[in-house]
Amino acid sequence: MKKVVYIVVLIILACALPSCTNLPLSGSQVFDPINPQIRQAKRLLNAGEYQKAAALYWSASKTKSSPQRDALQIKAVEAVLQPETRLYAQQYLSAIDESVLSQDLLVRKHVAVAEMRIMNGQPQLALDAVPIKLIED
């Protein structure tokens, strides 16, 4: 039964992700290549230093306004969305204001919540993390 729920969650996530491809904020619009914090965060992320990279993304988000701030905060969550750093991901997730997120960033946040729940052995709750409304849009 758990495998069936897990497969269903993956199918739902796969359906939700195509809307992320329309992300209007890409490349230099969000991740300013001149910003030394963002450059360092990218290097740390590539080196597997997820917690440090996330902290830099989060710190950089404090100097930005929405939607750049929101994208950097989601990037911080995604950086620590690993089994060994998932508690940091949870802290960042709880600090993000959903009411200001664009549709694409909201989908990414819900996907992150679903992944967290799967890591925590809660596949049924992971299904609840991705509202059907997000999938249909």
pLDDT per residue as tens digits for the range 19-75: 444 444 444 445 566 788 899 999 999 999 999 999 999 999 999 999 999 999 999
Please count the CA atoms within 13 angstroms of the CA of 65 that sit on its side-chain side: 0
Dig out the tokens for 15 from the structure.
Answer: 């359906």
The two tokens of residue 10 are 């993956």
Q: Give 109-122 pLDDT, tens digit per residue.
A: 999 999 999 999 98
